[in-house]
Amino acid sequence: MNRIIAATRIWLLLLICSTPLLAQKSPVPLPQCGTVDLTPQQIRALVQQGNLALERKRASGAAFNAITYIPIRPHIIRQSNGSGGFPLANMNQAIAITNSYYLLNGYGIQFYFAGTTPDYIDDDDMYAGFGNQSVDGRDATNALNQYYVNQFTTPGLGGYAYYPGDGIYSTRSFILTGNFQSLDDLGNRLIPHELGHTFNLIHTFGQNSGNGSLGSGVTTELVTRGAGANCATDGDLICDTPADPYNMTGANLTSITGCPQYDPNSTARDANGQPYSPSVSNIMSYYFPCTHDFTPGQHDRMQAALALRQTHTAYSLDAPPTDVAAPSNLRLSTNGALVTLTWQDNASNEMGYFIERSTSPTTGFLPIGGVEPNATAFTDSRATSPNRYYYRIRPSNATTGGLSTTIDVTLTGLSTAVTGTTAQLNWPAAGAGATYDVEWRAVDSPAWTTLSGLTTNTTYLYGLATNTTYEWRVRTVGSGQYAGPVSFTIPCQAPTYPYSYPARVSASLSWSNSVSGQTYNLRWRVVGSADWTVRNLPATTSFYSLTDLQPSTTYEWQIQGVCSPTVSSDFTPLQTFSTLSCQTPTSLQASTVASSWAYLYWSINYYETGRTTELRYRVVGSADWTVVNNLTTTGYSLAGLSNNTPYEWQVRSICPGGQQSDFSTSSYFTTVCAIPQGLYNAITATGARLSWYTSGSTEMGRTFELQYRVAGSGDWNSVSNLSNTNYVLTGLSTNVAYEWRVRQACSANAQSEYSTTATFTTRCNPVLSYNAYVSYVTSSSAQFFWYVENEAGTTYEIRYRPLGSSEWTTTVSNLTATTSAGNFNVTNLPNNTTFEWQVSTVCSSTERSAFTTGPNFTTQCRIPDWLSVYSTTFTGAQLAWNPMGVNVTYDLRYRRTGTTEWTLLGNLPDRTTSLTGLSSSTGYEWQVRTSCTDGQYSDFSTIAGFSTLQCSSPNAAMYGATESSAILSWYLSGAAADTRLELRYRVAGTADWTTVSSLTMSSGSGNYTLDGLTGSTQYEWQVRSLCSPSESSAFTNSYSFQTKAACTQMYTLKSGTWFDPNIWSCGRVPITTDTVHLKHAVIIPQNYQATARRLVYDAAVSVMWMSGARLLLSQ
d(CA 149, CA 158): 9
pLDDT band at 465 (very low <50, low <70, confident <90, very high): confident
Q: What's the confidence (pLDDT) of residue 514?
A: 72
The CATH number that applies at residue 691 is 2.60.40.10
Question: Which residue type does 741 have?
Answer: R
Tell me the three-class secondary structure of 43-91, residue by residue. Answer: HHHHHHHHHHHHHHHHHCCCCCCCEEEEEEEEEEEECCCCCCCCCHHHH
Please report which confidence band the pLDDT of residue 3 belongs to, taking 50, 70 and 90 as the band edges: very low
Crossing angle (nearest 10°) for helices 40-59 and 296-309: 80
- Same structural domain for residues 193 and 80? yes
Residues 617 and 747 reside in one and the same domain: no
Task: Taking residues 746-766, report their average pLDDT.
Answer: 93
Q: Is residue 720 part of a domain?
A: yes
* Mean pLDDT (the chain, rounded): 90
Q: For residue 214, give the amino acid letter.
A: L
The whole-angstrom distance between residue 308's C-alpha and the CA centroid of its chain comes to: 61
Q: How high is the pLDDT of residue 263?
A: 94
256 belongs to a structural domain = no
Question: Using one digit for the tens of pLDDT, what is the confidence trace for 1055-1102?
Answer: 999 989 899 888 888 888 889 999 999 999 999 999 999 998 878 888
- Position 90 scores a pLDDT of 96
Q: Is residue 192 part of a domain?
A: yes
Taking only the tens place, the pLDDT of each residue in 733-748 is 999 999 999 999 998 8
Query: What is the pLDDT confidence band of residue 15, given thresholds at 50, 70 and 90?
Result: very low
Per-residue pLDDT at 1016: 87
φ and ψ at residue 41, rounded to 5 degrees: -65, -40
* 715-720-726-729 Cα dihedral, nearest 10 degrees: -50
In one-letter notation, the amino acid at residue 511 is W
Q: Burial letters for 45-79: b for 16+ Cβ neighbours within 10 Å, e otherwise?
A: ebbebbbebbeebeeeeeeeeebbbbbbbbbbbbe
Residue 28 CA to residue 827 CA, distance in Å, equals 101
Residues 621 and 706 both lie in one domain: no
Identify which of 810, 823, 847 has the alpha carbon closest to the alpha carbon of residue 771: 823
In a domain, 246, yes or no: no
Q: Which candidate, 667, 725, 679, 719, places its Cα nearest to that of 698?
A: 725
Q: Is the pLDDT of residue 11 over 80?
A: no
Question: What's the distance, Cα to Cα, between the start and end of the chain in Å?
Answer: 87
Residue 207's pLDDT band, with cuts at 50, 70 and 90, is confident
Same domain, yes or no: 694 and 661? no
Question: Same domain for 172 and 44?
Answer: yes
Q: What is the mean pLDDT of residues 162-176?
A: 94
Of 1042, 1074, 1103, the residue that ends a domain is 1042
Q: Examine residue 444 and state whether it is found in any structural domain, yes or no.
A: yes
Confidence label for 18 from pLDDT (cuts 50, 70 and 90): very low
The predicted-structure confidence for 332-384, as pLDDT tens digits, reads as follows 888 777 899 999 999 999 999 999 999 999 999 999 999 999 999 999 999 88
Decide if 755 is inside a domain.
yes
| β-pair partners for 683 | 688
Does residue 22 carry a pLDDT above 60?
A: no
Q: Is residue 557 part of a domain?
A: yes
Q: What is the pLDDT of residue 14?
A: 33
Report if residue 747 sits inside a domain. Answer: yes
Say if residue 176 is in the same domain as residue 96. Answer: yes
Are 758 and 775 contacting, i.e. CB atoms less than 8 angstroms apart?
no
| pLDDT of 23 over the 80 cut | no
CA-wise closest residue to 453 among 967, 1046, 954: 967
Q: How far is CA 820 from the centre of its chain?
A: 57
In this structure, the answer to whether residues 808 and 827 fall within a common structural domain is: yes
Same domain (yes/no): 80, 217: yes
The side-by-side arrangement of strands in the sheet containing 1050-1051 is: 1050-1051, 1075-1078, 1094-1097
Full residue range of the structural domain in which residue 1102 is found: 1050-1113
CA distance 349 to 345: 11
Q: Give the length of the chain.
A: 1115
Q: Residue 273 carries which side chain, given as an amino acid letter?
A: G
Q: Give the residue-averaged pLDDT of 90-111.
A: 95
User: How far is 947 from 896, CA to CA, in rounded Å?
Assistant: 9
Residues whose CB is less than 8 angstroms from the CB of residue 338 and which lie 6 or more positions away in sequence, other chains included: 379, 380, 381, 383
CA 541 to chain centre: 29
pTM of the model: 0.48
Angle of CA points 840, 841, 844, to nearest 5° = 130
Residues 70 and 179 in one domain: yes
Counting the structural domains of the chain, the total is 10
Which pLDDT belongs to residue 300? 95
Residue that finishes a domain, picked among 947, 966, 994 = 947
Per-residue model confidence (pLDDT) at position 455: 94
554 and 662 housed in the same domain: no
25-59: pLDDT as tens digits: 333 332 222 223 677 788 889 999 999 999 998 88
> Last residue of a domain, which of 670, 698, 723?
670
Q: What is the CATH number of the domain that holds 181?
A: 3.40.390
Q: Which is more confidently placed, 181 or 55?
A: 55
Same domain assignment for residues 523 and 383:
no
Give the pLDDT confidence score for residue 590 in this predicted structure: 93
Report yes or no: 718 and 729 within 8 Å, Cβ to Cβ: no
Q: State yes or no: pLDDT of 387 exceeds 90.
A: no
Quick check: 1010 and 1030 in contact, CB under 8 A? no
More confident residue, 961 or 295: 295
State whether 214 and 79 are in the same domain. yes
pLDDT at position 125? 96
Predicted pLDDT at 28: 32
